[in-house]
Amino acid sequence: MSEKLFIFDTTLRDGEQVPGCQLNTVEKIQVARALEALGVDVIEAGFPVSSPGDFNSVIEISKAVTWPTICALTRAVQKDIEVAAEALQFAKRKRIHTGIGTSDSHIKYKFNSNREEIIERAVAAVKHAKKYVEDVEFYAEDAGRTDNEYLARVVEAVIKAGATVVNIPDTTGYCLPDEYGAKIKYLMEHVTGIEKAILSTHCHNDLGMATANTIAGVLNGARQVEVTINGIGERAGNTALEEVAMILKSHKDIKIDTNINTQKIYPISRLVSSLMNMPVQPNKAIVGRNAFAHSSGIHQDGVLKNIQTYEIINPHDVGIDDSSIVLTARSGRAALKHRLSILGVEPSQDKLDKIYEEFLKLADKKKDITDDDVLVLAGADRSKNDRIKMEYLQVTSGMGVRPVASLGLSIAGEKFEAAASGNGPVDAAISALKKIINRHMTLKEFTIQAISKGSDDVGKVHMQVEYNNQIYYGFGANTDIIAASVEAYIDCVNKF
């Protein structure tokens, strides 16, 4: 019999902390429902005291999902815990996740405190959270750099205070897999009362070892893993849910199972990438565009003879479905609705009609409509209510001529026009836009996502613009990449 590993998803908390990845409440509910369908056990829905938006999202996610436990993050601070308890009032199963830094550097520099006082604060936080919920998880922040003897004292104290789960974060992604595995083993062997709680991993990817560390933790006794879709998260990210799920599914010798319906992995990966405007690197394990592409002659030859020569995972097992590019101009609303539902999007009839209208326009320009296109269309009317809209764009460019762009914008209903030249068509179009907007803003980052399926594909542009010492993130998608660039810039400006 296999043992169960609990999957704690923190895409909507640690993942959403990434600059530019913020979602509104409706989008968070969409992701939460997709996580429920995927089979995660716990959804960390936010950090309620941090903002009214986070508070509200925890409330709405609690109402929207049934099976997973909804978890809210707090510091070891009474007020945080009380606000979290209030935000969790509608959750059918609820958990408060409270904690404090335990490494010497956190104790000294963050809290100007000492080890004994930190244990007292940890215990007090757990006891306070216990007044509101039965299920309390404690995190020992920077446990990766906390010495094992002291960490064991902290863990023992919080379990005695009532913690049901104890999280051992490698907050800085510093540990080596052996070291992290040994840490979990040490706690399993030295903490009195360890059988009363579950140890959890929470590994960051700063040195590219998040998944290896997580698996080392599991092999040494951790029975919960904290993960995110596509591995998004602070800095270099967290452990990717899809990697842990597929490692355990592929290695049948490890007798540990999850509740994950792996066929839903690819659709949720696309959904999160699209809603968060966070491209997935092409060579990303499991969900990258090239994860199942065999390009060299030797590999192709082997795969044609027997797929198992170079493929350890069947793409169908992670929900990659060859029929995912069958939408064309002749597809009806039902086909579009079906594809959206596979991708985790359930629009109202009204919204479906709008998406379908845009779909037909795109299908006129492009032969095959991909899942990415459908997700972009589904998210497209997010910006429909914005103040600034592009009315028209005309660009002249080519070899031996200086590119010139004329641009028409409507700002709160009023029309503006400008023309400008530049060292390329995008530069010309953005110079025209800057003439109209006339603010001191600097383009900091500009990424065009590569065309993946053909020259008629939709170009996706991600941008960062600095204005008033703040960075704003924008996204644009269009079959015309110059128009997509202007859309992305306008998206930034609309957020000023």
Binding site for Zn ion (CB under 5 A): 14
The reply to whether 54 sits near ligand KIV by the rule CB under 6 A is no
| Cβ neighbours for 432, distance < 8 A, ≥ 6 positions apart | 405, 406, 407, 418, 419, 420
From the list 123-131, 164-172, 378-386, 410-418, the region that binds ligand KIV by CB under 6 A is 164-172
The reply to whether 472 sits near ligand KIV by the rule CB under 6 A is no
For 316, the 3-state DSSP assignment is helix
CB-nearer residue toward ligand KIV: 137 or 243: 137
Taking CB under 6 A as the criterion, the residue among 138, 139, 266, 473 binding ligand KIV is: 139
Tell me how crowded residue 481 is: count the other CB atoms within 10 A of its CB: 20
Give the helix ranges, DSSP H, for 276-309. 297-305
Rg (CA), the chain: 25
The reply to whether 169 sits near ligand KIV by the rule CB under 6 A is yes
In 3D space, the residue among 396, 382, 11 whose CA is nearest the CA of residue 229 turns out to be 11
Q: How many CA atoms lie within 13 A of 406 on its CB side?
A: 4
Cα 21 to Cα 82: distance, rounded to the nearest angstrom: 27
From the list 81-89, 167-175, 250-258, 288-296, the region that binds ligand KIV by CB under 6 A is 167-175
The reply to whether 141 sits near ligand KIV by the rule CB under 6 A is yes
Cα 130 to Cα 332: distance, rounded to the nearest angstrom: 53
CB-nearer residue toward ligand KIV: 167 or 485: 167
**Tokens of residue 18, six digits:** 């990434």
Smallest separation (angstroms) from Zn ion to the CB of 370: 32
Chosen from Zn ion, ligand KIV, none, partner binding at 62 (C-beta under 5 to 8 Å by type): none
From the list 166-174, 258-266, 377-385, 401-409, the region that binds ligand KIV by CB under 6 A is 166-174
Q: Side chain identity at 189, as an amino acid letter?
A: E
CB-nearer residue toward ligand KIV: 102 or 485: 102
**Contact of 208 with 174, CB cutoff 8 Å:** no
What does DSSP assign to residue 240? B
Smallest separation (angstroms) from Zn ion to the CB of 40: 17
**Contact of 473 with 19, CB cutoff 8 Å:** yes
The reply to whether 476 sits near ligand KIV by the rule CB under 6 A is no
Taking CB under 6 A as the criterion, the residue among 7, 11, 14, 93 binding ligand KIV is: 14
Q: Please give the size of the binding site for ligand KIV, defined by CB under 6 A.
A: 8
CB-nearer residue toward Zn ion: 236 or 450: 236
Q: Which residues in 334-363 contact ligand KIV (CB under 6 A)?
A: none
Chosen from ligand KIV, Zn ion, none, partner binding at 141 (C-beta under 5 to 8 Å by type): ligand KIV
Cα 65 to Cα 57: distance, rounded to the nearest angstrom: 12
The reply to whether 171 sits near ligand KIV by the rule CB under 6 A is yes
Q: Which residues in 181-210 contact ligand KIV (CB under 6 A)?
A: 202, 204
CB-nearer residue toward Zn ion: 205 or 431: 205
In 3D space, the residue among 71, 58, 57 whose CA is nearest the CA of residue 25 turns out to be 57
Classify the C-alpha dihedral 64-65-70-73 as positive or negative. Answer: negative
Q: Where are the beta strands (DSSP E) in 5-159?
A: 6-9, 42-46, 69-73, 94-101, 135-141
Smallest separation (angstroms) from Zn ion to the CB of 202: 6
Classify the C-alpha dihedral 154-181-6-230 as positive or negative. Answer: positive
The reply to whether 138 sits near ligand KIV by the rule CB under 6 A is no
Smallest separation (angstroms) from ligand KIV to the CB of 169: 3
Give me the residue label for tokens 């997709």.
Answer: 34
Interaction mask 298-337, ligand KIV, x per CB under 6 A: ----------------------------------------
Residues that bind ligand KIV (CB under 6 A): 14, 139, 141, 167, 169, 171, 202, 204
